[in-house]
Structure formats: structure tokens, C-alpha cells
Chain A
């Protein structure tokens, strides 16, 4: 149904993950009625603008976005770049000054409760309902939605089943985030907003969470992810956009963002005990040449492309985000 090129390159998970349960459920998708034209974009944004009173520059300064149904889209950007403002406008939390916005075919500034039942939101920095248990909260929130997931299944899926009777204030930071995620997905949303969802997760919990997101995406859920973890964006997103100073400075797939695929590769190797390094658009040819010279293995061979993080840092630095150091400097060698 949904074109997902990025999924194909991910290594298969070795252990049976509880989150795969969700994927098996997708065959019984309820969504046919609520989705009159699957080709239509989940989110369209045209020339979005927002300036907060008492500030001298706009927080959002003319943004266009198209996010397709079923897509996993990641918004990246430094703190204060306007990411959260954009997402909160899409979520219907904030008014905009100008621009056209539709989310699931509806203007979020005027959307009502039926629209709310089609989206899920995982907010940042929550500290509420500390005196309640995950079981109580998830069961209760399920009651808000016309066609919720089974709350017990959701508790299993986010890995809180064993903690379901523990007061939320006694949960660890990562466990609280899982509860937030549980509340975001219990309504079986067509569109899920995730704001820094894995803050406080240990590495295994992050990997489990990624599997959950992939399972949701495989079901056809559209996902908008804001994150500071570029490896997370790279692992999950079909497409991503970088926001700096209220504008989108680059948009593309993780492989092509900011012309990442057109940067030169760096080839490093050892020659007579001395480290050598060369930048080239044709690393394969160079490696073949070196292999021929060495008559087999090339000592210390490394072929490196700029990481997503390298590209990202260069993009936000190029936009003049106030940084005194120059994190993009190492990247220049890739040009």
C-alpha cells in the first residue's frame, strides 16, 4: 500500500519484539471509512507564518510542507528554530498568523473533536497524572475514542505491562515516556505526532520504540517525528526537513538530505605505516586501484560518507544560527 523504500534497507530484528504484535493487527484496519482518498496528503502547509508578541523576528517565517499519508516524516532543527511552533500549529494547539494548513483534510485551527479522535499526540515534558497508574490512565483515555486499541494490548506493546499497577510518579523517565506514547496511540490514530519521543530511553528501549514506530507505519499510520537524535531520524524517517530560523533549509530523504549523496567520499588507508586520506567522487575505483597495488587487503581501509549529523550541522550553521564554533568545518573536506 504505502511505498516504504527505507524499510527495505534496515536489518531484520533478531529477537521477537512485542511490538510486532501491532503489525499483525493491521489486516483488520478500520480506516477504510475515514480515508476517502488515500492519495491525498495527510498534511499540507503553505506559507505558514507565526510571530509571537514581543519578539523581533517570526518564529515561523514562511514554511511549505507536504506529508503524504502513511509517511514517516521527521522535523529536525536546533532549539528555538520553530519546530515546536510548527508542530503545535499542526496539532491545533496554536493559532497561526498566516498561511494555509490542512491536517487530515481539516484546518487544525477550526477542527473539532471528531478530528481529534483521528490524531495522536505525544507531547514533550509531561509530568501529569503522577498519582495514577498506567493501567488506569490508558484504560480511561481509551474511553475518549470511538475505536480505541485494546488498552491491555497497548500496555504490552509499549512495554509497561509489568509496571501497569505502579503509580506514574514512581516510573523512571523512560517509562513515563512510554506511558505518553501509550496514550498517543491508544485511540488508533491515523496521524501520530511524536515530540522528542525517546528522551530518557536506554539504548534497548530506543530500539524497541523504533520497532513500534515501524509497526505503526506498516499499519499505514502517518507519523510526524521531531527529534534531536539524528540516528533516530535516519532509522525511522522516509523523509525529513531541517528547520532553522523559522524556515525549511533542506528537505529530502535521509540519504539525500542537503545533497548528502553528492558529497565526496573520504577514503583512508595505511601505506607503509603512514595514514593516507583521499577525497573522491569515485571511491570504488580508488579502492579497486589500492587493492590492485596492495595485491589483496588494503591495510586500515575506511570509506566514509558524511553522516546525517555532519550534513545537519552544516545546514544549520550555513543558515547563520548563532554558533561561535564551526561544527561544519570538518565537513568542508567532503566537498
Chain B
């Protein structure tokens, strides 16, 4: 009994958040179907589409599958952040997880820290998996300069943050866990198409669609990753004829701010009907 009355430091938000992250990861990796689905879908698509589009861009030595790989890594990030979180939080709301947590003294921020830990681990794992496949099957080269590595990191980080926040926000639109799946898959698939993930080069798409896609993060993430993994000669296939890294940072940063504003406004943890 002595242990129960021992005074101990008050639990901190960070400590509880990390502890929640541990639970989230265990929960995630124990649900084998979801793990296989989350990780295999973008990778399988990459392998299948990469095998179909095996042609080379004349005079560049770059294959269509390499362009695809750069774009698919962007799509993979959206899958483990936006899609996963959108469904995950709607499920937490549906099955009573959120109601139970609101009944405890857990600081709400700890819940989000836990999700961040989950998303960080799954997204890094997903990206490493897809990069490995692309390097092995499609001869994608890893970045060869520090500047390109740096670009890879910041595009990755801004992409993860913006898509995660949007996933958290969109979870509030779903009436239940099942409808969440439909609600997040639609923008996910549509954005992949109009952002030039499947259709390469992006300049092959109607200009109207590219303009529409330019309002959303996926197009810019894919563009940023192409600048990292493709030789500079490929820049002429971009819609603007340039990598536009400043714009990539601007749009992704803007979505981080907008996503955060949405998350602070919407009743993410709270009930919709009081």
C-alpha cells in the first residue's frame, strides 16, 4: 500500500502525450489489417504504376517511374497523416475514446501529442518503405547534396504538419467512423489525380486542374520531392518551368497555419451536440 500514497510530481502534458503515443503505436500496430492497408496501398500503387509507366523522358535519362515515385511519396505522406488521422479521430469519437478521455484530467493537448507521435512514426516508416522500393526497383537516386537533403526534410515536415492538421479538422465532418473513411478518401484520391501524382508530367494535365490543385498541399509536396530526387534538367516539365521552392514553402506553411486555426476553432475533442 505504501506505493499508493507516495507523493509524485504532477503529470505533465508532454509526459502524458508521449505515454499516449506509446499506446497509440501499440494500438495501431496490433490492428494488422489497418497496418497492411496503410503501408501497402501507396507502395503497391507505386510498384504497379511504376511498372506500367516505364518509358524514359528523352534526353534526360529519367524514367516516368522515377517521377511517379517522387509524387507517390507525397501521396504516401497524405495517406498516413490526413487519411489516417481523419479516420482515426472520427473512430475515437465514435467508439467513446474521446468521451472517456474528457472525463479524466488528461490535458487535451496530450491527446494530440500522442497522435503526433503515432503519425511521425508511421509516416517516417511509410516514406522509408517507398523510398527503398523506388531505389531498388526504379533506380531512384537519393539526394546527392546537403541542400537537397535539407529540402527533403523541410518539405516532409511541413507536409506532415499541414496534412495532419487538415486530417484532424476533417474528422469533425464525419458523423461516424465509417463515413469518415468516405469523407477523407475522396479529397485524397482527387488531389492525387489533379496534383500530377499519377499523370506525369504535371503539365500534361488541363491547366484548370493544375490551378485548382495549386490551392492544396499535395501538388507542392510532390513538386518539392521532384526537386529533391530528379536531376535539374527535369525542371522544364514543371508547369511553371521552375521548382518554385519558395512557393512550396509558402503554400505548405500557409496550410499549417490554416490547419492550426481550424483545429483551434473546431470542437475536435468535444461533442457536436450538447
Set of chain B residues within 8 Å of A25, measured between Cβ atoms: 1, 4
**Majority DSSP secondary structure for residues of A touching B:** loop
A30 within 8 A of B: yes
B236 at the interface (CB under 8 A from A): no
The answer to whether residues A128 and B96 also contact, given A94-B274, A146-B11, A148-B4 and a CB cut-off of 8 A, is yes
B241 CB contacts on chain A under 8 angstroms = none
**Interface hits, B1-31 → A, CB 8 Å:** 1, 3-5, 7-8, 10-11, 15-16, 19-20, 23, 26-27, 30-31
Closest to B103 in A: A121
Q: Is B60 on the interface with A (CB-CB < 8 A)?
A: no
**Which residues between 196 and 214 of chain A lie within 8 Å of chain B, taking CB atoms?**
none
Contact A127 B95 (CB under 8 A): yes
Contacts of A28 in B (CB 8 A): 1, 4-5
Contact B10 A123 (CB under 8 A): no
Chain A residues lying within 8 Å of B274, measured Cβ to Cβ, are: 94-95
The contact string, 1 if C-beta is below 8 Å from chain A, for chain B 49-87, is 000000000000000000000000000000000000000
Q: In the bound complex, how far is the Cα of B107 from the Cα of A21, in angstroms?
A: 31
B86-113 to A contact mask, C-beta < 8 Å, 1/0: 0000001001110110111111000000
- B187 contacts chain A at the CB level, 8 A cutoff: no
Are A129 and B19 interface neighbours, CB within 8 A? no
Q: Are B19 and A143 in contact, with the CB atoms below 8 A?
A: yes
The one of A52, A131, A145 that contacts B105, using a Cβ cutoff of 8 Å: A145
B271 within 8 A of A: yes
Q: Pick out which of these stretches binds chain B: A57-65, A110-118, A215-223.
A: A110-118
- Complex Cα distance, B274 from A52, in Å, reads 8
Given the known A-B contacts A127-B96, A144-B11, A153-B4, are A132 and B26 also in contact in the complex, defined by CB atoms under 8 Å?
Answer: yes
Q: Mark A35-58, 1 if CB is under 8 A from B, else 0.
A: 000000000000000001000000
Report the Cα distance A146→B9, complex, angstroms: 8
* Proximity string of chain B (237-270) to chain A, C-beta cutoff 8 Å, 1 when within and 0 when not: 0000000000000000000000000000000000
A95 to B272, CA, bound (A): 12
Q: List 30 A-B contacts (CB under 8 A).
A: A25-B4, A30-B5, A52-B273, A91-B103, A93-B102, A93-B103, A116-B104, A116-B105, A123-B96, A123-B103, A126-B95, A126-B96, A126-B100, A128-B97, A128-B100, A131-B27, A132-B26, A136-B26, A140-B23, A144-B104, A144-B106, A146-B8, A146-B105, A147-B4, A147-B5, A147-B7, A150-B3, A153-B4, A183-B100, A188-B4
What 13 new A-B contacts, CB under 8 Å, besides A25-B1, A143-B15, A143-B19? Answer: A28-B1, A28-B5, A30-B5, A93-B99, A93-B102, A121-B103, A127-B95, A128-B96, A129-B23, A136-B26, A144-B16, A144-B104, A149-B4
